[in-house]
Amino acid sequence: MRIMALLVPKVLPPRVILVLQLLLPMAALSKASLDVHYYDQACSRAEEIILETVENATRYDPKVSARLLRMFFHDCFIRGCDASLLLDSTPGNKAEKDGPPNISVRAFYVIDEAKAKLEAACAGTISCADIVAIAARDAVTTTGGPYWEVLKGRKDGRVSRASETVNLPAPTFNVTQLIQSFAKRGLGLKDLVALSGAHTLGFSHCSSFEVRLSNFSSTHDTDPSMNPLFVEELRKKCPKPNRGRNAGQFLDGTSSAFDNDYYKKLIAGKGVFGSDQALFSDYRTRWLVESFGKDQGLFFREFAASMVKLGNVGAKEIGEVRKKCGIVN
């Protein structure tokens, strides 16, 4: 302490004082963190309103649950969890929601409806980014999955570019590519395998997996990691060239229930995406697939923990709360 006293003058120059005055508030803001109770005082019914909206939407369209969950993933993986995926394109900018991987996300109307109700209840309070995070949790719990407390306090971003959607993990990725993609977001091996379990609610059009069904490589006509009977099943659903626009396959056998059937399908060689089946084929992730396939409770716990972790990716605590989720203020 005596050394510090010698180094720091008792009276600071005015310029130094001004710099400190500017930096101290910034330091305080940087220490701010997301909080489960962030809206308890300002909008105590926020989560109740969002849950009601999700329940009403899924009652009329069972696919909403999968789409809301996918929306959360695709939003957080680009610019962090800032609702940039919800912004509409403008004449001068093609936004994320119009990027190729997001064309089938849809369900934006559910978030818009929740936002309108929240603006009526407590205007200018609940960010679109937080609505997406809470709705994703509700999409899981209403289909039989685990419940977790959603950390809140995110602010909405102002930038959205369709060109950046190329950074989303592709259904053709191998495990090394998946590990690298998740690591860039601060997510580890267990997060990768647990969060992939969200595909328990998923559906895929033929275009995302048909490369596995014919002319797969110079040595194999079909993907050798696939169950041969499953190959024939998918070929019937995705005939060439005459197939319906909506032709495809659910990603597990219980598509309307959040459970661990997805992992059981991987163990049986019935993963729809190459990236999914790779989780069982690769020794680095196989043990986790087997563990989650045997113990649904373990999968639920790890999934919930990884969703909280994902919700922290790039979360903005300084910024705006949009009045409408499709446009910046």
Q: Which are the catalytic amino acids?
A: 74
> 90 - beta bridge partners?
93
Query: Is residue 40 annotated as involved in ligand binding?
Result: no
Residue 82 assigned to a binding site: yes
199 is in an annotated binding site: yes
Q: Is 100 annotated as a binding residue?
A: no
Note whether 186 and 314 are within 8 A (CB): no
- Is 61 assigned a ligand-binding role in the annotation? no
The answer to whether the annotation marks 84 as part of a ligand binding site is yes
Nearest residue to 150 via CA among 316, 311, 297, 40: 311
Specify whether the CB–CB gap between 271 and 280 falls below 8 A: yes
In sequence order, the 6+-apart residues with CB closer than 8 A to the CB of 157 are: 79, 80, 82, 83, 84, 87, 129, 316, 319
Annotated ligand binding at 311? The verdict is: no
Residue 130 counted as an annotated binding residue: no
Helices marked H in 142-237: 175-183, 189-196, 228-237
- Please compute, for residue 260, the number of CA atoms within 13 A of its CA located in the half-sphere on the CB side: 21
Residue 78 · residue 146 · CB < 8 Å? no
Cα separation of 225 and 222, whole Å?
A: 9
CB neighbour class for 323 (10 Å; exposed up to 12, middle 13-18, buried from 19): middle
**Residue 256: closest CA among 148, 135, 139:** 139
Check whether 156 is labelled as a binding-site residue: no
**Residue 145 known to bind ligand:** no
Residues ≥6 apart with Cβ < 8 Å to 118:
43, 46, 49, 50, 125, 126, 131
Give buried/exposed letters for 194-218 (b at 16+ CB in 10 A, else e): bbbbbbbbbbbbbebbbebbeebee
3-state SS assignment for residue 250: strand
80 labeled binding residue: yes
Q: Which residues contact 92 (CB under 8 A, 6 or more apart)?
A: none
Q: Which positions make up the binding site for substrate?
A: 169
Q: Which positions make up the binding site?
A: 75, 80, 82, 84, 96, 169, 199-200, 252, 254, 259
Q: Which positions make up the binding site for heme b?
A: 199
